[in-house]
Every structure is written in structure tokens, then in C-alpha cells.
């Protein structure tokens, strides 16, 4: 029971396949309450696939995904829906609903899942949008704003219902370095202030070293995870050349700065 | 005579070639010479080895590249295949004698070559295998379609019982998009269909001095067949395609995933409003098409076959029973479902690649039109069997 309280997510021996071809094999790890957990790996190593299996989009061929000890894929639809309500997801491309304004995007989950009155929802929406620095563009459509703003608006939507767990799929992809660092800071702030457990998928080294408490490394050749630990510790101690190469890429010396 | 190849200094340059000779009992010497450039045709590794004759006893191959004039990646390509062929014949190829740049390229290619193990089924195969796979694919997507129709029906039932989450704003949006904007094109097509029907009918009927019955032909044909059918085909091309493109883009953008992870059923949220909107809109558009078609017919009847307008309209009113109209309207409702379902189904099955949305749109329109015509045929059989 205690283990469950401290580890809101645990993944047991999960194998995920597309049309019978396994792209991820025997994944197992657990995520501690309130930590920032990073899933790293090169393109095509199955990071997004792993996230899909965790947020209820793709049923694993084998294995279990437990939320507070409840096996997600074996639960009834009602239980699943209750679990999903506690989760927020920021997709790789933002995935804002294109036919709605930013405010409507953030408001939709509130309208769907709470009994709040329209006025209250409006206030909550502008609060969430101001948290991500987007006051004043509530009534723009996703196509009218920049990529960085889109990601932040999507973040506002992801935190609309104050989720206990947040997933980020490559938050820095497609952003300039400045916006990417801003988003990293936002992630840290969220963890500090809302005590959210955060799972981040990324291959951005700077993000990895500045936000990760724990990480796992997925390898595209072996189609499984080959390391689990704090990235700095992995950098210092991992014997595996693939992990070392990934963590030291683009650096002259091995040590991360800062 | 063959044109001599020239290099930059206009001297003739030998095209690249490879010659093999034995060097001791177990060693093969591969001498590479000339200019190995992509502009000309170069020897194939397999041919070179095949032409070498008896290779028995050969265990290793060494290279002499001192006579190579110039090279580009065609040399590396030749060698990569050559190495593979050697491996197949259990000959160890020793790259030391090659230019260092080529050695490096070969190492790179080998390093990356090993990594890929994309398991995709062999393309081609025998005719029967292909036909079999194709039918399995077809039956699978047919099953998917049935499943989709099933869950669309279930959510429709939930809507009727007031249990579905239904977004009125989405419905209004789709109604606006699909209704008024379609009027001009429906006007044009129906008027022309009316004119054509009147012409074909009147020319024949005139032979019996019965051209007044052209009003019957046009009226019944429009109300029963052409009105619903043409409207459906237009709406499939306009609105059905728009549904497929919109939902396809949403799928590509992960917007539909975003609905699913909130536990919101895209069926209720996206498909249901579209179905309801079309079911509301199609009968209205069909009636509009019927009227315009009849007016088009009247134009021909009055203008060219000496009928008076009141006479023509009276004749139409007498010919058209409520049953005729009813058949047309029930068809239009069925067509509305077909349009909404094929648009949404192919949109939601859209892949993630850049070309996926276009493919989904095309597929939905083609399938939709086929289903519309098939459904029309089924209607013909049923009404015939019921004597109506
Ligand atoms: N819908 C799909 N159908 C089939 N294969 C897929 C699909 N999505 C991803 N893949 C394959 O699964 C592997 C992992 O993809 P993905 O999880 O997107 O990687 P990442 O997010 O780490 O870049 C890749 O080899 C990719 O080609
Ligand atoms: Mg990805």
C-alpha cells in the first residue's frame, strides 16, 4: 500500500506492438510521487508509443500499467475514465482542437467534467492561460498563434483539471532554444507548486539534465529500455556505450555544465 | 563507333573497371583502375565475380587501387556489393588496399546497414498471394467499417435517450457549413438535370403528340431518383470530403487522441453532430433540388414544346403523389447517413503521414459514391417488391 502511495505509476513488463510487430519489449519501471521522470531515446525508439500505452490510447500486447495499484488496461471503462481524468497530456504537436479558440480549448474539459457555472469556468480558463503567459489571446484560434504559444496553450489545457499526473511528449520539439527553456521552467514550476507527478518524453539533453529526477533510456535497435536512473548518475556510471554516447552527444567533454 | 569519354583536360579517360587475378593459392587480387564515376555505366560486382571463373580455394581478397584515376560513391557502392558477394562465397575481403575515403564510406554504410531491421512484409509475391492479402485487407476494413457503424448507431441511441454528450455548437457549425453554402451548386446541377430529363422525355413523347407528359417524367424522376441522388453525390463531394479532411487533419494532429485521453468519445463529439446535421439538412436540400429540377423541366416544356406554365405545373401536381416524395425523402435520409459515415470513418482512420489526409479524402468520396449508388439500387428493388 505504501509503495503504491509513493509510486502513482508503475509499468510491469510491457510489450507494445503495431499490427503484430513489437516496437517495445519488456518495459518496466515505476514513477515516484512528485518527481519528474524522463523517457529518453532517439527518434523511433518508441517513446511516444510507450506514452500511448500509458495514457490509454494503445493497449499493450502484454504487461500491465498500474495507476495507484489499479491495472489500467484490465479495469472497467468507468474506472479507466476516472483514471484518465487525473491525467493531463501535452502532445508533441500540441493537438489543440483547431476549430475552437484557445479559451474554448481550455474550457472544454471543465465543461465536460465539472459542474461549474459558465462564469466560473471563464475565470478558471483565464487563470490557467495566464499561468502559461497567454493572457490576452484567449480568443485566438490555434492557427493564429506561434508554435511556442501553441505548446503553452496546450499546457494550459492539459492542466485545466489540475491533473495529478502530467505527460509531455517532446515539449521542446519544434521550439527555439529560448522557448524550450521557458517550457522547462514551467514544468519545474508546476511540479513545485502543484506537486504534480510529471513524465516527460524528450531527447533534448539540456532539458534532460535540467529537469529530470529519474530517467529511462529506450534503445531503437534493441527495442527495449537499457538504462534506468538519474541522468547525471547514468552519465557518470553507465557502462553502456549507447547510453554514454546519447548523453554526451554534442559535447567535447563528458561533464554536463550547470 | 562509341564516343570516347573525356576528362576535364580532354584526354580520353578509361571508365572504371575491375580485373581479378589469383595471387597465390588462396588469395584473389582485385585490381581497380580507371575513373569510377556515376556518369558512366560501371561493372556490377556480381558479374565481375561470375566472370572470374573458377574461384575454388580462394579464401581472401585483397585490393590494388593504385590505378584509380578518380572515384565517387559509385565505387563505394560497387565495393559494398562486392563485399557482400564475397561474404556469400566465404571469401574474406580485406579493404586495406582501397583509398582511405572509400574505406571510411564502407564502414559508415556497414554501421548503419546493420541497424535497420524494419520488418515489413516482402512486397510482390505471387498473384494469388497478392490477391489473398488484398482480400484480407478488404475484409478487415469492411469489419472496421461495420464496427464503426455499430458504435455510431450506439451513440445515436444514447443521444435519443439523452445520455450522449452532444455539442450543440458543433452541430450548428456543421449545419452552417453544409447547408446554405451548398445551395448554388445544387441549384445549378438540379436545373440542368431537369432540363436534360425534359429534353430526352419530350423528344420521345412528341412522336405521340403526348409532350404534356414530360411533366410527369420530370416530376417523378426528380422526386424519386435524381433529386436525392444528385444532392447526395454533390454533398458527398462537398461535405463528406470536408468531414474526411477535417477529421483526418485532427487525427494527424493528435487532436482526436486528445479527446480520447480525456475519456471523451470522439464518436459522440465529432461523428454524432455531423450525422445529425446531415440528416437534418439532406431532406431540405433534396426538396430544394426537386423543385429546381421541376422548374428546369418547365423551362424546356414551356420554351420549346408549346406548353403553358400553369398547364405544366398542374400536370406535375397531378403526377406527383406523396408516395413519390416520401420515397425520395427516405432515400435522402439514408444517403445522409452514408455521407456522414463514410466521411467520418475514413477521416478517423487517417494515417499520420503528410499524404494521409488527401488519401483519406479520396477514399471517403469514392466509397461514399459507391455506397450511395448501391443503396439507390437496393431502394429500387425494395420499392419494386412493394409495388410502390
Ligand atoms: N501508427 C503506427 N503504425 C505502425 N508503426 C508505428 C506507428 N507509430 C509508430 N510506429 C513505429 O514505432 C516505432 C516507434 O515510434 P514512436 O513511438 O513514434 O517513436 P519516438 O516517439 O521515440 O520517435 C517506430 O519504428 C515507428 O515507425
Ligand atoms: Mg515521438
pLDDT of residue B1: 40
Residue nearest to atom 26 of ligand 1 (CA): A44
A104, A138 Cβ separation under 8 angstroms: no
Backbone dihedral angles phi then psi of residue B38, each to the nearest 5 degrees = -70, -20
Element (H, E) at A39: strand A36-41
- pLDDT at site B238: 93
Kindly determine whether residue A89 and residue B258, on different chains, have CB atoms separated by under 8 Å.
yes
The per-residue b/e assignment along B366-375, b for 16 or more CB within 10 angstroms, e otherwise, is ebbbebbeeb
Cβ–Cβ under 8 Å, residues A15 and A25: yes
Contacts of B359 (CB under 8 A, 6+ apart): B350, B351
The pLDDT score that the predictor gives to residue B287 is 95
Query: In three state form, how does the secondary structure of B252-278 look?
Result: HCCHHHHHHHCCCCHHHHHHHHHHHHH
Nearest to A58 by CA among A12, A19, A10, A9: A19
Mean local confidence (pLDDT), A213-236 = 91
- pLDDT for B85 equals 86
Ligand 1 pocket check for A52: Cβ under 6 Å: no
The predicted pLDDT at position B76 comes to: 85
Predicted local distance difference test score (pLDDT) of residue B387: 78
Dihedral, CA of residue B194, residue B195, residue B201 and residue B206, to nearest 10? 140
ipTM > 0.90 for the complex? no
Q: What is the pLDDT along chain B (388 residues), one digit of tens a residue?
A: 444 444 455 556 788 888 888 888 888 899 998 888 887 777 788 888 888 777 788 888 999 988 888 888 888 888 888 888 888 888 888 888 898 888 888 888 776 655 555 555 556 678 888 888 888 888 888 888 999 999 888 888 888 887 777 788 888 988 988 888 899 999 999 999 999 999 999 888 888 888 889 999 999 999 999 999 999 999 999 999 999 999 999 999 899 999 988 888 888 889 999 999 999 999 999 999 999 999 999 999 898 888 889 988 999 999 888 888 899 999 999 999 999 999 999 999 988 888 999 999 999 999 999 999 999 999 999 998 987 7
Q: What is the DSSP string of B199-224?
A: HHHHHHHHTTT-GGGHHHHHHHIIII
From the CB of A10, is ligand 1 less than 6 Å away?
no
Grid cell listed for B310: 400553369
pTM, entire model: 0.77
Element (H, E) at B81: helix B73-88
Residue-wise burial string across B108-137, b where 16 or more C-beta atoms lie within 10 A, e elsewhere: ebeeeeeeeeeeeeeeeeeeeeeeeeeeee
**Contact indicator for A155, A184 with CB cutoff of 8 Å:** no
Which residues touch A4 (CB under 8 Å, ≥6 apart)? A66, A68, A69
Calculate mean pLDDT across residues A185-209.
90
**Secondary structure class of B250 (helix, strand, coil):** helix
Measured distance CA(B170)–CA(B174) in Å, rounded: 6
Q: What is the pLDDT of residue B50?
A: 83
- CB-based contact B322:B255 (threshold 8 Å): no
**Mean pLDDT calculated for residue range A226-241:** 89
Please indicate whether residue A38 or residue A147 has the higher confidence score (pLDDT). Answer: A38
Inter-axis angle of helices B356-385 and B322-348, to 10 degrees?
A: 150
State the first-to-last Cα distance of chain A, in angstroms, to the nearest integer. Answer: 38
3-state helix, strand, coil in chain A (%, to 5): 40, 25, 35
Does residue B264 sit at the A interface (CB-CB below 8 Å)? yes
Query: What pLDDT shows up at residue A255?
Result: 45
The reply to whether residue A80 touches residue B249, judged by beta carbons under 8 angstroms, is no
State how far the Cα of B75 lies from the Cα of B79, in Å rounded to an integer.
6
Distance A92 CA to ligand 2 centre (A): 7
Nearest to A150 by CA among A89, A98, A199: A98
Please report the DSSP string for A201-214 in residue order: E---HHHHHHH-SE
Please report the atom of ligand 1 found closest to the CA of residue A92.
21
The closest alpha carbon to A52, from A82, A72, A77, belongs to: A72
Q: Which domains does chain B have, with CATH numbers?
A: 17-117 (3.30.750.24), 147-385 (no CATH)
Sheet hosting strand B92-94, strand order edge to edge: B17-22, B27-36, B60-71, B92-94
Q: How far is the CA of A49 from the centre of ligand 1 (A)?
A: 6
Q: Quick one: which of B274, B246, B233, B278 has its CA closest to B368?
A: B233
Q: What does R_g of chain A's alpha carbons equal in angstroms?
A: 18
Chain-chain contact of A221 with B115 (C-beta, under 8 angstroms): yes
pLDDT tens figures, A163-178: 999 999 998 888 888 8
Return the residue of B nearest to A56 by Cα: B261
What would the DSSP string read from start to end of B165-177?
---HHHHHHHHHH
Amino acid at each position: 500500500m505504501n509503495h503504491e502511495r509513493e509510486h502513482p505509476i508503475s509499468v510491469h513488463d510491457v510489450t507494445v506492438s503495431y499490427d503484430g510487430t513489437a516496437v517495445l519489449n519488456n518495459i518496466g519501471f515505476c514513477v515516484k510521487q512528485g518527481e519528474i521522470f524522463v523517457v529518453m531515446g532517439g527518434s523511433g525508439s518508441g517513446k511516444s508509443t510507450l506514452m500511448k500505452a500509458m495514457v490509454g490510447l494503445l493497449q499493450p500486447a502484454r504487461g500491465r500499467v498500474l495507476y495507484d495499484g489499479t491495472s489500467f488496461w484490465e479495469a472497467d471503462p468507468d474506472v479507466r475514465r476516472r483514471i484518465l481524468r487525473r491525467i493531463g497530456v501535452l502532445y508533441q504537436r500540441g493537438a489543440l482542437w483547431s476549430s475552437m479558440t484557445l479559451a474554448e480549448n481550455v474550457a472544454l474539459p471543465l465543461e465536460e467534467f465539472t459542474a461549474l457555472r459558465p462564469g466560473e469556468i471563464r475565470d478558471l480558463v483565464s487563470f490557467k492561460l495566464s499561468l502559461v503567459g497567454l493572457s490576452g489571446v484567449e480568443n485566438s484560434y490555434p492557427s493564429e498563434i506561434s508554435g511556442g504559444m501553441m505548446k503553452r496553450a496546450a499546457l494550459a489545457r492539459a492542466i485545466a483539471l489540475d491533473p495529478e499526473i502530467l505527460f509531455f511528449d517532446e515539449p521542446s520539439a519544434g521550439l527555439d532554444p529560448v522557448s524550450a527553456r521557458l517550457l522547462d521552467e514551467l514544468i519545474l514550476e508546476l511540479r513545485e507548486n502543484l506537486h504534480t507527478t510529471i513524465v516527460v518524453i524528450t531527447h533534448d539533453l539540456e532539458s534532460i539534465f535540467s529537469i529530470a529526477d529519474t530517467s529511462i533510456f529506450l534503445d531503437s535497435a534493441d527495442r527495449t529500455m537499457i538504462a534506468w536512473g538519474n541522468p547525471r548518475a547514468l552519465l557518470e556510471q553507465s557502462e553502456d556505450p549507447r547510453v554514454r554516447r546519447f548523453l554526451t552527444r554534442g559535447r567535447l567533454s563528458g561533464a554536463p555544465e550547470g | 563507333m562509341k564516343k570516347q569519354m573525356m576528362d576535364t583536360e580532354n584526354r580520353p579517360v578509361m571508365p572504371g573497371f575491375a580485373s581479378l587475378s589469383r595471387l597465390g593459392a588462396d588469395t584473389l587480387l582485385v585490381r581497380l583502375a580507371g575513373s569510377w564515376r556515376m556518369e558512366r555505366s560501371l561493372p556490377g560486382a556480381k558479374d565481375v565475380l561470375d566472370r572470374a571463373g573458377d574461384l575454388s580455394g580462394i579464401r581472401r581478397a585483397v585490393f590494388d587501387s593504385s590505378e584509380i584515376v578518380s572515384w565517387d560513391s559509385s565505387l563505394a557502392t560497387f565495393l559494398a556489393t562486392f563485399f557482400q558477394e564475397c561474404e556469400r562465397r566465404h571469401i574474406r575481403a580485406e579493404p586495406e588496399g582501397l583509398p582511405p575515403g572509400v574505406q571510411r564510406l564502407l564502414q559508415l554504410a556497414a554501421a548503419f546497414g546493420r541497424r535497420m531491421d524494419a520488418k515489413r512484409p516482402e512486397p510482390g509475391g505471387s498473384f494469388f498471394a497478392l490477391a489473398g492479402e488484398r482480400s484480407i485487407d478488404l475484409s478487415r476494413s469492411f469489419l472496421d467499417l461495420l464496427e464503426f457503424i455499430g458504435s455510431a448507431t450506439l451513440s445515436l441511441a444514447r443521444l435519443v435517450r439523452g445520455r450522449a454528450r452532444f455539442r450543440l455548437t458543433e452541430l450548428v457549425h456543421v449545419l452552417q457549413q453544409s447547408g446554405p453554402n451548398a445551395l448554388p451548386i445544387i441549384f445549378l446541377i438540379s436545373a440542368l438535370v431537369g432540363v436534360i430529363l425534359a429534353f430526352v422525355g419530350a423528344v420521345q413523347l412528341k412522336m405521340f403528340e403526348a409532350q404534356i407528359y414530360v411533366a410527369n417524367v420530370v416530376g417523378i424522376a426528380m422526386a424519386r431518383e435524381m433529386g436525392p441522388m444528385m444532392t447526395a453525390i454533390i454533398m458527398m463531394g462537398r461535405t463528406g470530403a470536408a468531414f474526411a479532411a477535417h477529421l483526418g487533419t485532427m487525427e494527424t494532429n493528435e487532436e482526436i487522441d486528445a479527446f480520447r485521453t480525456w475519456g471523451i468519445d470522439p464518436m459522440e463529439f465529432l461523428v454524432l453532430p455531423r450525422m445529425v446535421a446531415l440528416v437534418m439538412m439532406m431532406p431540405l436540400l433534396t426538396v430544394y433540388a426537386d423543385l429546381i429540377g421541376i422548374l428546369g423541366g418547365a423551362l424546356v416544356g414551356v420554351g420549346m414544346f408549346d406548353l403553358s406554365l400553369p398547364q405544366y405545373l398542374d400536370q406535375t401536381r397531378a403526377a406527383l403523389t406523396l408516395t413519390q416524395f416520401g420515397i425520395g425523402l427516405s432515400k435522402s435520409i439514408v444517403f445522409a447517413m452514408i455521407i456522414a459515415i463514410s466521411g467520418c470513418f475514413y477521416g478517423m482512420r487517417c494515417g499520420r503521414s503528410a499524404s494521409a489526409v488527401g488519401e483519406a479524402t479520396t477514399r471517403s468520396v469514392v466509397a461514399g459514391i459507391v455506397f450511395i449508388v448501391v443503396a439507390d439500387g437496393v431502394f429500387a428493388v425494395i420499392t419494386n417488391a412493394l409495388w410502390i
